[in-house]
Amino acid sequence: DTGVSQNPRHKITKRGQNVTFRCDPISEHNRLYWYRQTLGQGPEFLTYFQNEAQLEKSRLLSDRFSAERPKGSFSTLEIQRTEQGDSAMYLCASSPVGASNQPQHFGDGTRLSIL
């Protein structure tokens, strides 16, 4: 079990630039989740996939955000035209097949800083 892997660990960029993050879930997990966490808050749900299908998106996910999981394995989260309010930790998690009651396993996160 190699765990959930996220890259990069840190990203610093100027406002208005586009950024893309990658998440590699635990290999046998078919569900993959994206969360965003700001200082002093719990993680907030953004979106999740079952295999390659995106099943739910939060209203937090504006049209500047897009997520993909093209082959049902790794996923990418892209933010276009970044704003200072996008500065946060972006967390990816995965869980096993048929896992409505199973806990999610988190990656180490990508910390985004917008200058």
Partner 1 sequence: QKEVEQNSGPLSVPEGAIASLNCTYSDRGSQSFFWYRQYSGKSPELIMFIYSNGDKEDGRFTAQLNKASQYVSLLIRDSQPSDSATYLCAVRDDKIIFGKGTRLHILP
| Residue among 19 and 91 whose Cβ is closer to partner 1 | 91
Whole-angstrom distance, CA of residue 110 vs CA of residue 89:
6
Residues of span 34-73 touching partner 1 by CB under 8 A: 35, 40-45, 48, 55-56
Q: Which residue has the tokens 């635990």?
A: 26
Say how many residues touch partner 1, by CB under 8 A: 23
Specify the 3-state DSSP secondary structure of 115. coil
Give me the residues paired with residue 11 across strands: 112
Please state the closest distance from residue 20 (CB atom) to partner 1, in A. Answer: 19
| Strand 110-114 versus strand 10-13 pairing type | parallel
Q: Which residues bind partner 1 (CB under 8 A)?
A: 33, 35, 40-45, 48, 55-56, 89, 91, 93, 100-101, 103-109
